[in-house]
Structure 1
Amino acid sequence: MAEPAALRFSKMHGAGNDFVVLDLRDGRPAPDAALAAQLADRHTGVGCDQILTIEAPHDAASVASYRIWNSDGSAAGQCGNGARCVAAWLVRDGAADPDAFQMESPAGVHQVRRTPAGFAVAMGVPRWSPAQIPLAGFDGEQPAYSVEVDGAPVTFGVVSMGNPHAVVQVVEVASAPVLQLGPALQASAAFPDSVNVGFAQVISRQRIALRVFERGVGETLACGSGACAAAVVLMRAGLVERSVSVALPGGTLQIDWPHDGAEVVMSGPATFVFEGAWTP
């Protein structure tokens, strides 16, 4: 019997948020939940927060499309750090113009440009209505929402960046109850599709500190869409400027949102770690 073909991969990270990148442009199937869990395991696999599959584009103007798979095998709608890693991978592969190009994610089409620090990706226009998150139990859009979690009220902002985010403002991220409140909010009936939970501290009008408990993953060193979500929630509340740096445990991202109707632009690094082959 022939041995199974090895699956080539690239290990990458964006500000510490790490990925296994698979080139599936030849039409091979995406990893199922079992393979995703094997690849993501940090003791017996490659180790990653999420798996990125690079696939053929749907739009002729795009160089490629990509999908995102959490370490538990579930699909994700968006990943900002992953978007920059896909961009860097496509440039290294020769598939994309080194300076500017278009690619697609499950959340839509993204314009990409190279910057001195890495890549800037247009992440789309934020969506605010409860139905778009989705957030249950609220008919209309509000500046902030409150639900009861473990017998106590929790107040947060919500936004969709192609995936759902709840943003909890805290006095100090270092002592924020990330590992307790993160999974509790995810399990709340208010979030029927679960949610990414960000804990944001305003350091100044130009800088935010952030920790994120991601849906299907847990706390990560960085979350690009989470940085966008925290920034726009705080911008809309008038607490920070329209251009802010977001300090995450794994590094710093730059978020720009010129006005409410504009796309959010996220800038930051994308790093290659190593290449390998996985044999099932």
Structure 2
Amino acid sequence: MADMTTWRFTKGHGTENDFVLVPDLDARLDVDAEMARSLADRRAGIGADGVIRVVPTASATEESVRAMAERAPWFMDYRNADGSVAEMCGNGTRVFAAYLRREGLEGADEFEIATRGGIKGIRIEGEMIATNMGRWRFLDPDRAAADGFDSLVHVDGGDEPWSALSVDLGNPHTVVALPETVVLADVDLTRAPHVKPDPSNGTNVELVRVLGDAHIAMRVHERGVGETRSCGTGVCAAALATSFWAGDAEPTRDWTVDVPGGRLRVRALPGHQVELAGPAALIADGTVDLSAL
């Protein structure tokens, strides 16, 4: 941990998926698991779904991240609220990009950022920020093609497990097509759903309700966090899975996804890539006294 007793921070959110951003432009700070948990604590800390360290890519500890420095000078070093390291966060990329733009660290309308899930392309669309989330894939494409599903999900209070489809967007997702008899708002997500087969590194679980043509509503339980108001990679996974169930083996349409925190757009791109677009807000700046955490 750095020897400083106070750190600067910015609080931001993307469709109410909220983050504490810690600028570390000189790569001097140690935002370890304990520190991330303390900062994200909603009673004793600042409060957030995750913590983002803003650091030069060339200074990342991981060699695989440092290799991205020539294309993407800034690294989104992300931890979940429980302190666990995550590959990336879709909503977090937009908040990260908004911070880089506000601070003058990036000035173009298109640029790239580094994440543990690879380089992500950013495009500014007025009040919206679009992120190329990169390649996606079904974790078990053979079962997906044969059955449309590859796993089962059970929630507390539910009578029967629900069929689900596993989608990889650099982090793992399990998307549930809710039966017509189940009300999305009534599902208990206070505890992590039980997924079978049990993913070795955990998974985010998305519950989906179709609202209309290329329009769905979603709730999500994020691994290492719990239920959140939004999840960018989860929104993409939900749209891609629902498009697949609708008969689009190669998605081409834009999808509108409503989450408790707002509305996002998902666009399939060539080469099995996908783009997420939505708002980002930086709502507060301050300093935190580390000795009080």
Structure 2 CA distance for partners of 1:246 and 1:46, relative to 1, 3 Å: same
Matched residues in 2 for 1:175 and 1:49: separation?
22
The CA deviation at 1:60 is 1.1
- Counterpart of 1:79, as a letter, is C
The CA deviation at 1:41 is 1.1
TM-score norm. by structure 1 comes to 0.88
The CA deviation at 1:190 is 1.9
**SS of structure 1 residue aligned to 2:193:** helix
**SS of structure 2 residue aligned to 1:124:** strand
Matched residues in 2 for 1:129 and 1:184: separation?
18
Quick check: 1:245 aligned with 2:253? no
Match of residue 173, structure 2, among 165, 185, 192:
165
Matched residues in 1 for 2:247 and 2:215: separation?
10
Q: 5+ residue gaps in structure 1?
A: 131-138
Instruction: Name whichever of 194-203 and 26-35 sits farther off.
Output: 26-35
Contact 2:154/2:193 (<8 A) preserved: no
Structure 2 CA distance for partners of 1:231 and 1:148, relative to 1, 3 Å: closer
Structure 2 CA distance for partners of 1:251 and 1:109, relative to 1, 3 Å: same
Residue matched to 2:63: none
Residue matched to 1:236: 244
Matched residues in 1 for 2:126 and 2:238: separation?
24
Contact 2:12/2:20 (<8 A) preserved: yes
- Counterpart of 2:76, as a letter, is Y
**SS of structure 2 residue aligned to 1:81:** helix
The CA deviation at 1:149 is 4.5
Residue matched to 1:26: 26
The CA RMSD over aligned residues, in Å, is 2.1
Residue matched to 1:133: none
Instruction: Name whichever of 5-14 and 51-60 sits farther off.
Output: 51-60
Match of residue 70, structure 1, among 73, 76, 80:
80
Matched residues in 2 for 1:50 and 1:239: separation?
35
Contact 1:7/1:279 (<8 A) preserved: yes
Q: Number of residue pairs matched?
A: 266
- Counterpart of 2:273, as a letter, is E
After TM superposition, list the pairs within 5 Å mapping 1:1-20 onto structure 2. 4-20=4-20
**SS of structure 2 residue aligned to 1:67:** strand
Quick check: 1:60 aligned with 2:65? no
